[in-house]
Structure formats: C-alpha cells, structure tokens
Amino acid sequence: MAEKKLKPYEIGELDHYLFGQGNHYEIYKKLGAHKVKNGKKTGVYFAVWAPHARSVSVVGEFNEWDMEANPMERQEPLGIYTCFVPGVEEYAMYKYCIETYTGEYVFKADPYANYAELRPGTASKVVDITDMKWTDKAWMDRRIQWNHTEEPVSIYEVHIGSWKRHLGREDEGFYNYREFAKEIAKYVKDMGYTHVELMGIAEHPFDGSWGYQVTGYFAPTSRYGTPEDFAWMINYLHKNKIGVILDWVPAHFPRDIHGLSNFDGTPTYEYADPKKGEHPDWGTKIFDYGKNEVRNFLISNALFWIEQFHVDGLRVDAVASMLYLDYGKQDGQWVANKYGGNKNLEAIDFFKHLNSVVLGRNPGALMIAEESTAWPKVTGDVEEDGLGFSLKWNMGWMHDFTEYMKLDPYFRKDHHNQMTFAMSYAYSENYILVLSHDEVVHLKCSMLNKMPGIGADKYSNLKAGYAFMMGHAGKKLLFMGQEFAQLREWSEERELDWYLLAEEEHLKMQNWVRDLLHLYKRNKAMYEQDQSWEGFEWVNADDAYRSIFSFIRHSKNNKKNLLFVCNFTPVARDDYRVGVPRRKQYKLIMNSDDAKYGGTGEERPEVYRAVRKDCDGRPYSFAYKLPAYGVAIFEF
C-alpha cells in the first residue's frame, strides 16, 4: 500500500531515519511549533520527541490549558508526537503535557521552541521566524572568504542585561535588542573591537546563572525582546561591520521541572546513570552524547544560530567538563570508559562531528573552545585526530598573567617566567588571550583591584598589563567594563559603573585601551602571523631583575613591524637601551607617559635612530627614557 503523500511540514520516514542517525541538521524546522496552512485552515503544527511517554497532548492559551483538547499522535520508530491545531495565534503560550510511563503528568516547555514567556513564567510561545528581513548580504558574502588566522579578532564580551540599563524605570530597565544594537555598535566602533561576544542569549530561567543553565536552546531570551528583534540586532551589527559570537552551552542543563531534565519521565536528553549524567558541583544534568537524537539536537542547534540567525561564531562553554568523565567528581562519582580511562569518547566524537559540520557548511564562521586543560589538538584538524575548533581560549596564559600582575613589583623578578612561558606553547593551538567575566566575579576583584599598590600605581600597572596582552601572540578578548577600569566586581543585577568615566583616571584608561585596540586592528604585524613563530620575536625575555619585557611583532613582508617595551616596576629607567634587528629609524607611536593616558606628558623625540652598539645580543640598539610602569611601542 502506497504511503500517503506528506505535507511539507509533516514528519516522514526520512526525517525519522536522519534524526535517528543523528544527521538531521535542520530538524528544528520539523520539531517544535510551526505556523502552517492545512488545506483552508491556518494553525500550528506541533511536534515533540518523547520516546518513553505513554501519551502527549499540547496545552495552551488556545485550548484553556485542557489536557484532553489536543492529543498528539505517536509516530514510530522514534516516538515523535505530532498534531495540527487550527487557529492558534502568534505569541500564544503553550506546553506539552506528557504522561510518563508511571502514569504521572508533567508539563514541559518545548525543547525546540523559538520564543518563551518572560521569566518567572515557563511556557513556550508560538512565533514564526521563517520570514526574517535580512540586509547583511555584503557581510555574509565577505564572511565566506574570511580567514580568522590572518585577520584581527578583538572581542568585547558583553552581558546585555548589565552593560547599560534605563535607570529610574519601574521595570528592570533592560535595553531591548534594538536599543542595545544601536548603543553597542557606536561604542564598539569607537573603541576598535572587531566582535562582540554575547552572554546569556539562549532562554534561561535564572538570571544568576548568567545564561549558562539553558532551558530554551532554540529561543533568544525574551528578556530583551522577540526573535525578530534579536535578528534585527544581528543585522544591524553586521551592517556596522561588527561580528557576533554567542556563548553556547552543550555541556549541561538545569534540573528545572519545565526543562529538558527527565523530559518524558525518563532520562531523555541526559545520561541515565547519575555517575555520567550529573555534575555534583553544579547541580546540573549532562547531555548523553552517545544518543544520536541528543547529538542531533545539539548540532542542529549550533547550525540554527549560525544559519538561521546569521551569528558569526559560537564560544563553546565548559569543553573540559565534556571531555573528562571525572571532571569535578571524586572517586566513586564517575564511570570509566570502555578502556578504563577518564576520556568521554562519545563527547570527543561529538565535537569532531559538530565542528566538521558547522565549519564545513559555514566557511568563515568560528567555533571557539573554552577548554582549560592541556588536551592536545583542540584546534587541530579532525582528519589528524584533532577536535576541529577554530580557536581556543588560552586559560594557561590568563592564569599566569593575572597571578603575575597581582604580585608586588618587588617580587615580580622571581616570577618573570610567568609572563614568558605562554610563548613556549603559543603555536600548539590557535589561541585567544582572554580576560573574561570569570576573572572579575566571586571575590576575584575587578582587573583594576587585582593590581598592587595604591592610587595611580594601580592604573599604571593595568595599562602595562593591557599593552603586554595586546602585543602578545594570539587573538584578544576583554570583558565589558575592564576597558575603563571598573572598580567593583561585575554583577548581573546592575549596569556597569559608567559614571566612573567622569573621573580622569578612568577616562584615560579607556583612551589607552581604545588606542591599543585601534593599533591592533590597523597593524598586520599584530595579527596576520598569529599562528607562526615568524610573527613574534623576543628581544629580551630574560630581564627579570628589572622586570622589563621587550619583543617584536613582525608582519609578513616585514615592511611595518612593531617593537614593544613594557616595564612592570615603579622604577624609571632614564637610559633604557634596547637591542634591535636593524640599523633603522624607530618611530615612537604609543607611549604610556602621554598626558592623554594619565602620564606626565613629558616631551619626547618621535624618532630614535639605532646605532652600532651591542645590546640584548644584537649589534644595534637605541636608548629610551622608560618611565615607571612605562610602555613604549615603536614602529619600524
């Protein structure tokens, strides 16, 4: 008997097959709630995967939340439930009522919903995202040709709800997506960042999780507007030549009763064994990467953000927690793999599949790993047993850098290698140097208050640190507020302390960071050889006694190179001599002693000519008056 002809939105045998294999990369177009026309009737086609449910019905505003009004039909072999409900309006709230195998009833938000009720409400909302208006073709066309390894990448990490707020309003005062887009585009262009990385976009119930405990993987959070508003924001940023990266959390999900946890009354999305399926420290559930439908859910979700919403990259959170079965667990709390080891073989395979598909389908997009261990080949090719990421956060550099910067300058000479060590492995992966939100919360202090000393010394220390970071090999990321020396730790409950910019030292810190970012963006020496030893050269990595570092960044053609000299003590060196590779002129292009950065403003020569005089193991050198905590950047 011939199979009945399916309507375009209906789920057929091929959908079941691909989903069951884990290869239905656009399954989000079939599962979830989709506005359709069925004959002469318009309405919504609902579809949900609940393999161990006894029955499922859809309940919502359109049927008075009646459990019996709209029963769903089970489709085999995977246990996908479907139904068409005529007359359902845009933004109507709904949930799935699932009868579990024990006969209990649970009400679940739609895992594939594109919109959700504003918390503390937990219902999903019907919305049509098939007709978004995009005018960013020029950006998207260029992205196909874009090669991150040879381009500048300086990322401004932002939490929308606490970057700026409308003060004095009765509600929380959040900027909506459109307001935020206009404000952040202006600011990012002025400061010189190339990308924004947005925290907490996928729907989440608890503000204090910062968006890292997700219940709506396919829904931009309703805190800041509709999915259409979210698309408008991406489009606007692209038209202003700003890339957009989202934080993405495939490592774990919360136990909230309306979310993915025990979705059909059994561990549907998580590992069934609690020793594999739960994070004891975080109180969250771990995705079952061995289950094809779960892998498909996550891979299609990554593609959803990049293809449906034109997002330029995903920063994948907590990668180490996925790779290691014993991550955050004591003996007896975890189960070894089939070889007796602590590697999660299913998660490794998942990453290879994920990155191959996402980057294969979307040239120029970025997949960024927040991976905190020495796992090899995180950014290596999948064909060579790498994980296939584009970039990796350099957590080792971040740890060494912040520990060094916190030291009293007197003791820095004994820890000199903490600032040079990262260059010994800088080309083992494609790295981003990060000073992220994680470094300015939980009593870790703001970046400024990590600095030793009092008053002006703190600001001078931080300026030297930022210059060293910008000159060092690797892409860059800085969390919001640290560019103007935010005093307080970050809190998601309030906006940044923008009023500080009325004070001279904060304004001058912002001037310094702005000029460093523009210097980075306009000088190829700073980025085009980030993955090559030829791009970075120490002049003197061993001046521990004086705690001074000098190094060169080389462009490919060596036409325009940069020499950095950074002094990390309060001792001025009135005749600091630095060795140089050629008997050329060296033009001073940035000087931390400039008045606009909070320095003395002392007049200095703009050009220094190298002479034949041995220094730093080189035949040529020149002398420069290097102030306390001074930074000088020369072009040659």
> pLDDT tens digit string along 331-354?
999 999 999 999 999 999 999 999
Res. 8 pLDDT band, cuts 50 70 90: confident
Tell me the pairing of strands 631-635 and 431-435: unpaired
For residue 62, report the phi and psi dihedrals to the nearest 5 degrees.
-75, -15
> pLDDT tens digit string along 478-520?
999 999 999 999 999 999 999 999 999 999 999 999 999 999 9
CATH number of the domain to which 628 belongs: 2.60.40.1180
Res. 1 pLDDT band, cuts 50 70 90: very low
516 shares its domain with 556: no
Strand partners, 409: none
What is d(CA 381, CA 233) in angstroms, rounded to the nearest whole number?
33
**Residue 253: alpha-carbon gap to chain centroid:** 17
CATH number of the domain to which 57 belongs: 2.60.40.10
Q: Does 2 score more than 60 pLDDT?
A: no
Structural contact between residues 194 and 243, judged by C-beta atoms closer than 8 angstroms: yes
- Is residue 143, in this structure, part of any structural domain at all? no
- Is residue 1, in this structure, part of any structural domain at all? no
494 shares its domain with 588: no
370 is annotated as an active-site residue = yes
Q: 3-state SS of 540-576?
A: ECCCCCCCEEEEEECCCCCCCCEEEEEECCCCCEEEE
What pLDDT was estimated at residue 38? Answer: 86
381 is annotated as an active-site residue = no
For the chain, what is the mean pLDDT? 96
Which of 108, 124, 142 finishes a domain?
Answer: 108
569 shares its domain with 509: no
- Is residue 256, in this structure, part of any structural domain at all? yes
Q: What percent of the chain has pLDDT over 70?
A: 99
Q: What percent of the chain has pLDDT over 90?
A: 95
What pLDDT was estimated at residue 168? Answer: 83
* Strand, helix or coil for residue 47: strand
The single residue of 157, 293, 317, 515 carrying the catalytic annotation is 317
> pLDDT tens digit string along 231-257?
999 999 999 999 999 999 999 999 999
Region 437-447 average pLDDT: 93
496 shares its domain with 556: no
The type of residue at 395 is M
Total domains, the chain: 3
53 shares its domain with 92: yes
Sign of CA dihedral 112, 113, 114, 120: negative
CA–CA distance from 95 to each of 59, 83, 115, 613 (Å)? 6, 13, 12, 77
For residue 231, what are the domain limits?
152-526
What pLDDT was estimated at residue 3? Answer: 56
- Is residue 5, in this structure, part of any structural domain at all? no
Structural contact between residues 47 and 11, judged by C-beta atoms closer than 8 angstroms: yes
CATH number of the domain to which 271 belongs: 3.20.20.80
93 shares its domain with 240: no
For residue 345, report the phi and psi dihedrals to the nearest 5 degrees.
-60, -35
97 shares its domain with 204: no
> pLDDT tens digit string along 187-202?
999 999 999 999 999 9
What is d(CA 430, CA 389) in angstroms, rounded to the nearest whole number?
9
164 shares its domain with 311: yes
Nearest to 345 by CA among 300, 395, 288: 288
Which of 506, 526, 546 finishes a domain?
Answer: 526
Structural contact between residues 277 and 294, judged by C-beta atoms closer than 8 angstroms: no
- Is residue 506, in this structure, part of any structural domain at all? yes
Nearest to 472 by CA among 162, 3, 154: 154
> pLDDT tens digit string along 570-625?
999 999 999 999 999 999 999 999 999 999 999 999 999 999 999 999 999 999 99
Which residues, including other chains, have CB under 8 Å from residue 80's CB and lie 6 or more apart? 11, 16, 19, 31, 47, 48, 49, 50, 74
Query: Taking the C-alpha atoms of 34, 38, 43 and 49 in order, what is their torsion angle to the nearest 10 degrees?
Result: -40
> pLDDT tens digit string along 59-95?
999 999 999 999 999 999 999 999 999 999 999 999 9
What pLDDT was estimated at residue 165? Answer: 96
176 shares its domain with 298: yes
Structural contact between residues 251 and 317, judged by C-beta atoms closer than 8 angstroms: yes
Structural contact between residues 630 and 593, judged by C-beta atoms closer than 8 angstroms: yes
Nearest to 272 by CA among 262, 283, 284, 259: 262
48 shares its domain with 189: no
Please state whether 146 falls in left (phi above 0), alpha (psi between -120 and 50) or beta.
beta
Query: Taking the C-alpha atoms of 82, 60, 259 and 353 in order, what is their torsion angle to the nearest 10 degrees?
Result: 40
What pLDDT was estimated at residue 558? Answer: 82
If one counts every other C-beta atom within 10 angstroms of the C-beta of residue 492, the result is 16
- Is residue 599, in this structure, part of any structural domain at all? yes
- Is residue 6, in this structure, part of any structural domain at all? no
Q: Does 357 score more than 50 pLDDT?
A: yes
Which of 72, 90, 108 finishes a domain?
Answer: 108
Containing H/E element for 400? helix 395-406
563 shares its domain with 504: no
What pLDDT was estimated at residue 275? Answer: 94
389 shares its domain with 303: yes
- Is residue 254, in this structure, part of any structural domain at all? yes
Structural contact between residues 70 and 59, judged by C-beta atoms closer than 8 angstroms: yes
The single residue of 15, 197, 370, 593 carrying the catalytic annotation is 370
